[in-house]
Amino acid sequence: MPASHPSRKDAGWACVLREREKTMLLRIVAPFPVAALALSAVLSACGGASPTVPVGSGSLARAQLASAPPLSKSDGGLVYTAQLYGQDAEVYRRKGLHLKPIKTLMKGLNEPQGTVTTVNGWWYIANEGDSNVLIYRTLNGRPRGPQSSLSDYDELPVNVDVTPSRKLAAVSNYLTTDGAAGSVSIYLDRESVPSRMLTYGSDQIEGEGIAISHRGDCYWSFQDATTGSGSIVEFGGCQGTGTPIVSGIGQAGGIALDQADDLYYVDTRAARIYQCEHTSSCQPLLTGPYVLVAPVNINFDLHEKDLWVADAGGYIDAINAKTGVIEYQYPTGSSNPPFGVAPEPGD
């Protein structure tokens, strides 16, 4: 890996997050004393010692105790997460919305982030540190692999989406390994190398979320380091120069599309998820009473129609997309929080 690789991983929050991200996260959790205390402890833990996170009570602690609704007909399945700081992926068994960790994967993982599953049991993880996307196969309720990968040479992949047939995959690149602007790598016909690269504008773009519509269009969220704000653009047919559809995001995060191709996107700085009517009239989704701390990535569960959230404050959340209510929160701890989440089956 080149020495100039602008890594976002190290021993603690202060060592891995860009300065503006650290400030942003502390500001987000400021209303929640326990979360702010925990995050401050991790931010100060650099240079060797592992960060420790205090445990206590308060509004955030009460939020994490949200109880899940009764079990449904699709009782069971798996939920996958990717942990940037621990360089691992976690597999959870699900009953209703309740999660139970059953397996941790580390082989081949180097700064894993965004992740996605398909309806037929394939699992993709954007593996930033090795400039590739790892591909697993789930058989009999257990992930196997990685069985193959997508090569993303000289890029820093942070998110991925793929169609059910896997004949179209799109990967969001944060930057290049030498610090040039981010882009989207497009893979066709299950090839392991990009068929084309998509870029937008001339500013210093930092890629974040990626989603493919049921029509085969690509949506890309990114942070513009020049203007300091986030945007989402649409690439019709996953090609071309891109059309802006959302602007003014505080800190762009993950994006997802439901079965009607309505857009959902994360603003990490505001600790909010927005729901759009197709790609317009976007409004905050969450109605309370529970809160998000630092949401970074989202994905839909096809059967339950719930939106799952990877919260870098140390939580996995399940939100009812119709009501905007957080129905379940699983505390992972803030020293190794999820940066990607993918319920099975995917959409």
DSSP string, 41-101: HHHT--SSSPP------SHHHHHHTPPPPPP-TT---EEEEEETTTTEEEEEEEETTEEEE
User: How does pLDDT run across 2-12, given as a tens digit for each residue?
Assistant: 334 444 443 33
In this predicted structure, what is the pLDDT of residue 345?
Answer: 82
pTM: 0.83
Is 58's pLDDT higher than 70? no
Is 13's pLDDT higher than 70? no
- Residues 144-172 have a mean pLDDT of 97
- Residues 146-168 have a mean pLDDT of 97
Q: How confident is the model at residue 76 (pLDDT cuts 50, 70, 90)?
A: low
In this predicted structure, what is the pLDDT of residue 338?
Answer: 98
Listed range (36-40, 157-161, 168-172) with the worst mean pLDDT: 36-40
Q: Are 133 and 127 in contact (CB under 8 A)?
A: yes
Per-domain residue ranges for the chain? 78-343
Q: How confident is the model at residue 57 (pLDDT cuts 50, 70, 90)?
A: very low
Domain 78-343: give its CATH code.
2.120.10.30
